[in-house]
């Protein structure tokens, strides 16, 4: 068979496979979010606020968490009827295991069940290794929140999620697939989350626990903290927090395995395994403060 016939056959197989996957996803997906109890972290600002608004609008009972209680209260007050008894705000520093236990206990005490755990909170960074006096100190702080925080919450929520045949939604960054400068520990923590939840998904499937795990890989999203550190050259590509929250919710409801948001994100995630050096250069250039210096280094190596 000629090369073009092979290509055509491959295309046909992937179209059929994708059709079957969509059908299966549709059948195992949630019908709707009405009265589902959803615990969402990182709700005091950014994407978490949009997630709260959208889950609430779909009829879910929302348990929202973060450290800044005053901001959580503002988010709650901004909901129709100030949450109509369907919203609980809980202070939680997710780097602290007892706080994570308290959050899950509070959700159970208020609503009696948990249907979903949306892991959105994060500790970001904007530092080069050489600029830091003691790099492992910052690394530990980032992992304590992003990785261990997610682990603690999973530990306490999983028995309830197993009962409800619920879902875990892990929100990560494209940096977890294609790392770049100034976010080394953040990227490493997100890569660790991708691997950990891939493994847990397999283990839970094996044990037929009925809990779905969805990893949402986000590109740049126009939140205050992200725009503060994003290179102006790439700001044009930012998604809105509302758009990101909508796609996260869709991936959750369809119980997708992994979704990469935005066309740019999809292109980067798809090309990365095939041409890592090219992707590193493109990413490096996008983040480079001085584009001319970056291009010279990429082309001439100095």
Ligand X SMILES: NC(=O)c1ccc[n+]([C@@H]2O[C@H](COP(=O)([O-])OP(=O)(O)OC[C@H]3O[C@@H](n4cnc5c(N)ncnc54)[C@H](OP(=O)(O)O)[C@@H]3O)[C@@H](O)[C@H]2O)c1
Q: Which sequence positions are flagged as catalytic?
A: 186
Cβ proximity to ligand X: between 114 and 122 the closer is 122
Q: How far is the CB of 51 from ligand X (least distance, A)?
A: 9
CA distances from 70 to 98, 274, 287 (A): 21, 47, 34
Select the residue interacting with ligand X from 32, 225, 240, 270 (CB under 6 A): 225
* Cβ atoms < 10 Å from Cβ of 292: 8
Distance CA 101, CA 66 (A): 14
* Interactions with ligand X, residue window 159-198 (CB under 6 A): 171, 173
* Residue 220 binds ligand X, judged by CB under 6 A: yes
Q: How far is the CB of 18 from ligand X (least distance, A)?
A: 25
* Interactions with ligand X, residue window 69-128 (CB under 6 A): 71, 92-95, 120-123
Q: How far is the CB of 145 from ligand X (least distance, A)?
A: 4
Select the residue interacting with ligand X from 33, 38, 226, 269 (CB under 6 A): 226
Token pair belonging to 232: 């102006």
Q: What is the DSSP secondary-structure string of 214-255?
A: EEEEE--B--HHHHHHS-GGGGGGPBPHHHHHHHHHHHHHTT
Cβ proximity to ligand X: between 83 and 265 the closer is 265
Residue in the block written with tokens 């935005």: 262
Q: How far is the CB of 24 from ligand X (least distance, A)?
A: 27
Strand residues in 77-233 grouped as ranges (E): 87-91, 116-119, 167-173, 212-218
List contacts with ligand X (CB under 6 A).
41-48, 66-68, 71, 92-95, 120-123, 145, 171, 173, 218, 220-221, 223, 225-226
């Amino acid at each position: 068979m000629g090369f073009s016939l092979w290509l055509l056959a491959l295309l046909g197989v992937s179209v059929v496979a994708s059709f079957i996957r969509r059908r299966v996803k549709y059948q195992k997906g949630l019908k709707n979010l009405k009265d589902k109890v959803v615990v969402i972290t990182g709700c005091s600002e950014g994407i978490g606020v949009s997630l709260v608004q959208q889950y609430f609008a779909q009829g879910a009972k929302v348990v929202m968490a973060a450290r800044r209680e005053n901001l959580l209260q503002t988010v709650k007050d901004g909901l129709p009827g100030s949450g109509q008894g369907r919203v609980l705000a809980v202070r939680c520093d997710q780097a602290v295991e007892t706080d994570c236990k308290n959050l899950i206990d509070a959700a159970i005490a208020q609503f009696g069940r948990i249907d979903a755990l949306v892991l959105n909170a994060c500790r970001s960074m904007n530092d080069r290794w050489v600029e830091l006096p003691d790099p492992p100190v910052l690394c530990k702080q980032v992992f304590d929140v992003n990785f261990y925080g997610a682990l603690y919450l999973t530990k306490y929520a999983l028995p309830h999620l197993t009962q409800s045949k619920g879902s875990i939604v892990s929100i990560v960054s494209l940096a977890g697939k294609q790392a770049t400068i100034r976010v080394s520990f953040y990227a490493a923590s997100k890569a660790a989350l991708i691997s950990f939840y891939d493994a847990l998904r397999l283990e839970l499937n094996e044990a037929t626990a009925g809990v779905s795990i969805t990893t949402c890989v986000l590109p740049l999203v126009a939140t205050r903290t992200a725009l503060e550190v994003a290179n102006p050259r790439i700001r044009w590509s930012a998604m809105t927090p509302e758009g990101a929250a909508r796609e996260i919710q869709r991936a959750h409801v369809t119980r997708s395995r992994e979704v990469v948001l935005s066309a740019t994100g999809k292109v980067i995630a798809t090309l990365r395994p095939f041409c890592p050096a090219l992707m590193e250069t493109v990413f490096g250039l996008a983040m480079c403060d001085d584009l001319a210096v970056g291009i010279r280094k990429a082309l001439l190596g100095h």
